[in-house]
């Protein structure tokens, strides 16, 4: 028991917690990129109810270091973007209207996490219901999405952006993917507790 208390205190030393606001929630069942906005969502341990990415397992994507046909744990049960990073991407591309989570097919959009894409693996997002999400990894932009945006969005000058413009502008700003740790309900305008673990300091601590 004493060791558990010490470990808990030690872990808290290497993390920071702050609040962010959930701006919008989205789910999608079709093969299209767009996910429709909903006011609230139920999340289970295999993902968002009603979303095409809901699953405990998934096939591999192109570029992953696994043999063809491999089935692996689904580390992409949800995806998220931030208002701040979407604005940077939109400004860089000189778009007439800012990109949204709906357009990019993200489940969640946050305000108050300006460097969302840099949250390290293991960071936790806890909602008022107790529902908890864990960050797995950065979600890099893909060519298909960049090409789709080049066909459907316009710049302030009225032109369509280039096929690779989104790919370049969203580098290190595209958002995150992760898994569900605790099931529950999430709602637009929820105030979310964000707990970020300092992986470098923790590594040094465990190595000492």
Digit-coded pLDDT (tens) for 17-43: 999 999 999 999 887 888 999 999 999
- Tell me the mean pLDDT in the region 142-167: 96
Contact, 179 vs 74, CB < 8 A? yes
| pTM, full prediction | 0.87
The whole-number pLDDT of residue 7 equals: 47
Give the residue with greater pLDDT, 106 vs 61. 106
The whole-number pLDDT of residue 64 equals: 80
Average pLDDT value over all residues in the chain: 90
- Is the pLDDT at 4 greater than 70, yes or no? no
25 pairs with which residues across the strands? 38, 108
The whole-number pLDDT of residue 66 equals: 85
Contact, 102 vs 35, CB < 8 A? yes
Q: Is 63 left (phi over 0), alpha (psi -120 to 50) or beta?
A: left
The domains of the chain, with CATH numbers, are 14-207 (2.40.33.20)
Could you tell me the pLDDT band of residue 6, with boundaries at 50, 70 and 90?
very low
Nearest Cα to 23, choosing from 132, 111, 130, 131? 111
The whole-number pLDDT of residue 8 equals: 52
Contact, 89 vs 173, CB < 8 A? yes
């Amino acid at each position: 028991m004493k060791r558990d208390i010490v470990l808990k205190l030690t872990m808290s030393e290497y993390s920071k917690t702050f609040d962010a606001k959930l701006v919008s929630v989205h789910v999608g069942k079709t093969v299209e990129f767009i996910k429709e906005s909903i006011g609230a969502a139920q999340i289970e341990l295999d993902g968002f109810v009603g979303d095409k990415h809901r699953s405990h397992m998934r096939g591999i994507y192109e570029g992953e270091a696994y043999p063809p046909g491999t089935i692996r744990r689904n580390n992409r049960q949800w995806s998220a973007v931030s208002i701040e990073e979407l604005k940077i991407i939109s400004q860089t591309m000189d778009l007439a209207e800012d990109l949204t989570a709906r357009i990019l097919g993200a489940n969640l959009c946050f305000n108050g996490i300006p460097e969302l894409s840099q949250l390290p693996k293991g960071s936790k997002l806890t909602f008022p219901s107790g529902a908890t999400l864990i960050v797995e990894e950065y979600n890099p932009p893909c060519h298909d999405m960049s090409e789709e945006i080049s066909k459907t969005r316009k710049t302030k000058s009225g032109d369509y952006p280039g096929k690779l413009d989104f790919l370049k502008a969203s580098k290190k700003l595209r958002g995150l993917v992760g898994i569900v740790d605790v099931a529950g309900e999430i709602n637009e305008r929820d105030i979310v507790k964000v707990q970020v673990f300092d992986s470098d300091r923790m590594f040094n601590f465990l190595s000492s």
